[in-house]
Structure 1
Amino acid sequence: MGLFSMAFAGGSFILIGAWESLSSSSSSNKPRNFSTITLISTFFLSLLFIIDSFLSFFNAISSNDKLGSSLQLQVLAISSLFLMFSLLGLLNFFSKSYSFPYPLLNLILLFAFFEEFLLFHLHLKDSTGIENRYYDLMLVPISICVISTLIELISPDSGIPKLGRGLGLILKGTWFVQMGFSFFTDWIAHNCDLGYKSRGNYTIKCKGHMDSHRGGAIAVLLFNCHLAFLVALICGVFSVFGRNFVGEGNYSNYRSLGAEMQRMENQGRFTLDSDSDDGGIAEIKQEEGDAGLRPENGALEVGINGHGSHSVN
């Protein structure tokens, strides 16, 4: 894959992930089902990956690159799983005689993501190449997709797993675009060069040990920038479409705090006066109340509801 292939694949992942994230909160989206737009987009993207893998496979055979040919067979297997997932899902929409259960489609999608995780985790290319650091960081969005699909398999009625998978696909797409520019343009780390063995088998070698460390550090820094961009994007989109994610509550029994405070003030005011200078007893008054305690000249006068009073010496 070259710059155009990675940029196109990354842009496609971003669009599919954005649609998955937005459709996860849509009330019109049927539960236990995949969106038709997602299935059609996955079908065409998987088909393009298969065509690109065949081109790289035959190029590796002509270049006598056994590692490159075996690597393209793995990519071909992963793309075939995604293609199978999209085809079976589309049959549920356009065919009345065939109906594949939703857990089966989710299981195929889970296997495809897990096999993709193994491909980037093992990365059978040169272990000393800088591109391996980019492949290690690619495991983060793929892990998000694997965990989200697994949760959706357990609780298919929830929209949160689809939202998580959409965000994982967006991060995966932006990182695909970043890898394309980092590998095939002048944005590559200084003192590092890209070397080809075949169309699909390449490695990035740096001149010195410090150059290799700097190249890996740049990769981590770029990935952190992508994460920060995704968080800012989520906050902005959530501020616009937040009503679709948060359910409406029942506020019929709500009473304002000012009314409650005014009610408490109307029930009575108690005052405590300090002892007078001539040694008199403190005077306690209750105003505007139903009952009151009024100590006057050493006698405690009790009045209840305004009906008479009793004095206690």
Structure 2
Amino acid sequence: MGSLATHFSTFLFLTPLGIRRLLCSFSVYLMNPSLYRSKPWYFSEPKWKNIDFYTLLIALPIASFSDLFFFLAFSGHPTYRFAFLHQSAVVSLFWVLTLLIIFHENFDPVAVPENFIYIFAGIVFVIENMFMGEGITGFGGIVYEWLSGLTLVCAGCCFYLSIRPGAFFAEFLLNSGLVFKGTWALQIGLSLYTDTFAVEGCDKISMSPTQGKTDVKCALEEDRERGIAVMNLLFIGHATLVLITSFGLFGLLCGNRNLRYGEASGPLLAELESESMQMHNLPEFELE
């Protein structure tokens, strides 16, 4: 998490993923709320509609190798250098997660059950949280603590869904959290790693050559306190925007079936229809 490019990449990975999962989970829930069940990934038919998943499958290892290259080539302070290594490890774990999803969907669902995939995802989020904002203190450390909180929310939702896959609220919280993590990561990149969008009276983040600590340098303590207040306000603004987007998307899908996630021949819809038909075919008993 040491540059604007890294934060922008995080935004590109997480925000579309969260929005897609919101769209898919809302559509499946509205199809039949009583039979709703969360899925690690909502696959579609034909397969070309899953281009976003296959893009992640290719892009994640490239991002991981890029961070590993920076770790090997970077000759600066160890705090920065090992940040690239930790980032590479976390991205690699998310890539393994996509491989587990493929194995579950196409080969052996019993060997890799859905609850195991959710547990693995929760563990990866916890590991990501351990390295988040590493070596960053002060103003910058406070901003990263909010991103860390969002990561722990996603981890908690994954652990809960591994036990209760039908918990729609946990699915909603997970997907909204992914969108929030993406937008807030972009905000951190702009506010802490650029001079253009830096808080007034403060410079972009820099490392102390003697202590190996990274923080935002502010001219006055008042500037630092104002900067924290501004970031607090921005965090609330991001949260409000994500909630409005989520509820607005749900409202649109409720009012227009044509906008819903198109899985007309997908495996999940077939499973839901099968369960629904079984319920309708149950014998009816009349009270005499």
The question of a shared fold, defined as TM-score above 0.5 by the shorter chain, is answered with: yes
- Counterpart of 2:251 in structure 1 is 239
CA offset at residue 145 of structure 1? 0.8
Of Structure 1 and Structure 2, which has the larger fraction of its residues in helix?
Answer: 2
Whether 1:134 aligns to 2:155 is no
Whether 1:187 aligns to 2:193 is no
Alignment of 1:29-178 (within 5 A): 33-36=40-43, 37=50, 39-60=53-74, 62-63=75-76, 65-95=77-107, 99-120=111-132, 123-128=133-138, 130-178=139-187
Is the Cα–Cα contact under 8 Å of residues 41 and 101 in structure 2 kept in the other structure? yes
- Counterpart of 1:17 in structure 2 is 18
Take 1:41 and 1:158, find their aligned partners in 2: how far apart are those partners? 28
Is the Cα–Cα contact under 8 Å of residues 161 and 167 in structure 2 kept in the other structure? yes
**Change over 3 Å in CA distance of 1:59–1:209 after alignment to 2:** farther
Take 1:240 and 1:19, find their aligned partners in 2: how far apart are those partners? 14
CA offset at residue 48 of structure 1? 4.2
The number of residues matched between the two structures is 238
**Change over 3 Å in CA distance of 1:226–1:197 after alignment to 2:** same
Take 2:244 and 2:39, find their aligned partners in 1: how far apart are those partners? 30
AA of the residue aligned to 2:154: C
Take 1:189 and 1:235, find their aligned partners in 2: how far apart are those partners? 31
Q: TM-score, normalised by structure 1?
A: 0.66
AA of the residue aligned to 1:11: L
SS at match of 1:24: helix
Is the Cα–Cα contact under 8 Å of residues 47 and 83 in structure 1 kept in the other structure? yes
| Same amino acid, percent of matched pairs | 19
Alignment of 1:3-14 (within 5 A): 3-14=4-15
Structure 2 residues not aligned, in runs of 5+: 44-49, 261-288
- Flag the structure with larger Rg: 1
- 111-120 or 50-59, which deviates more: 50-59
Is the Cα–Cα contact under 8 Å of residues 113 and 145 in structure 1 kept in the other structure? yes
- Counterpart of 2:272 in structure 1 is none
Structure 1 residues not aligned, in runs of 5+: 246-313
Q: TM-score, normalised by structure 2?
A: 0.72
CA RMSD of aligned residues (A): 2.9
Q: Which has the higher contact order (CA 8 A, sep 6+)?
A: 2
AA of the residue aligned to 1:68: Y
CA offset at residue 45 of structure 1? 4.7
**Change over 3 Å in CA distance of 1:157–1:207 after alignment to 2:** same
Take 1:95 and 1:9, find their aligned partners in 2: how far apart are those partners? 30
Is the Cα–Cα contact under 8 Å of residues 40 and 90 in structure 1 kept in the other structure? no
Is the Cα–Cα contact under 8 Å of residues 192 and 205 in structure 1 kept in the other structure? yes
AA of the residue aligned to 1:25: F
